[in-house]
Amino acid sequence: MSNYGAVIEARMGSSRLPGKVLLKVNDVPLILLLVDRLKQVKKLKKIVVATSVSKNNDQLCNLLRKNKISFYRGSENNVLQRVVRAAKKNKIKNIVQITGDCPLIDPEIVSQVISTFDNNKFDLVSNSTIRTYPDGMDVCVFSTKNLEKTLKLTKNKYDLEHVTLFMKRKKKLFNQCNLMAPQFLNLPNLGLTLDEPKDYQMIKKVFNFFWKKRKTFSCLDIVKFLKSNPKIISINKDVKRKNIPLKNSL
């Protein structure tokens, strides 16, 4: 099996919810809860947080350093270059791309996306090019070599801000696969991602419910919990998600 490392894109400068990756559940910052969930993915050899050189990320880096979590600081806006350099510095051959606003990521779904990449000859495997999984379960796997190739081929600002946009658009250059959710997880409008304050309120309730049970919980467990607690689903149902369509990067 090839060398796989998670590169988590995270920074403090979110416009809708500044400092969101350091918001806490039971005194534990969400970025640490995300890293803990990724540690359950056996195929991951490394976990690296890719953040920017902006001074407002000093607090995030201090927390990561204190908890012995690898991080790389690069460009604020050229996220594509930042991820390439984070992977190269940490000798990651194949990147498992995760964003810091997905603290509820399901380790099992991450493993499935890695396995699909590992057992086939795709350049990119994603579960969100066509969204069927809940928003917040997003995983994408591709080689560092192909991401370097992307960096050389595009100067478009959307491509530089959204790491896989160019690859997803250039289907003739990059052979790709999109994993579709099984029927019981086919809930593309369910927001499990951290974009706004209402998302934080909902995510806290999910973590708190499973915290008491002291168990590792999956996306299916979250869905079952929310379906039996419709009031919690309604907390963030009116949050509008940003969606960068592929055509925007043309």
- What mean pLDDT is reported for the chain? 94
Measured between alpha carbons, how far is 37 from 58 in angstroms, rounded to an integer? Answer: 23
0.85 exceeded by pTM: yes
Average pLDDT over residues 102-111: 98
Average pLDDT over residues 182-193: 96
| Dihedral (Cα; 91, 97, 103, 105), 10-degree rounding | -110
What's the confidence (pLDDT) of residue 213?
Answer: 79
Average pLDDT over residues 166-185: 96
**Residue 247 above 90 pLDDT?**
no
The dihedral built from the CA positions of residue 21, 185, 206 and 44, taken in this order, carries a sign that is negative
Instruction: Give every CB contact of residue 39 below 8 A, 6+ residues apart in sequence.
Output: 47
Average pLDDT over residues 62-80: 97
**Residue 250 above 50 pLDDT?**
no
Tally the domains of the chain: 1
What range does the domain containing 35 cover? 4-249
Q: What DSSP element (H or E) covers 32? A: helix 30-38
DSSP E strands, 90-221: 94-99, 124-126, 140-143, 176-178
Structural tokens at position 26: 């039971």
**Residue 83 above 60 pLDDT?**
yes
**Residue 174 above 50 pLDDT?**
yes
Band of pLDDT at residue 41, cut at 50, 70 and 90: very high
What's the confidence (pLDDT) of residue 242?
Answer: 75
Burial class (CB in 10 A: 0-12, 13-18, 19+), 199: buried
Measured between alpha carbons, how far is 52 from 159 in angstroms, rounded to an integer? Answer: 17
Domain at 129, CATH number:
3.90.550.10
What's the confidence (pLDDT) of residue 127?
Answer: 97
What is the percentage of the chain residues whose pLDDT exceeds 90? 91
110-122 tens-digit pLDDT: 999 999 999 999 9
**192 and 126 Cβ atoms separated by less than 8 Å:** no
Lowest mean pLDDT among 36-45, 101-110, 208-217: 208-217
Q: What DSSP element (H or E) covers 73? A: strand 70-74
CB count within 10 Å of CB 241 equals 13
6-40 tens-digit pLDDT: 999 999 988 889 999 999 999 999 999 999 999 99
**113 and 141 Cβ atoms separated by less than 8 Å:** yes
Residues in the chain: 250
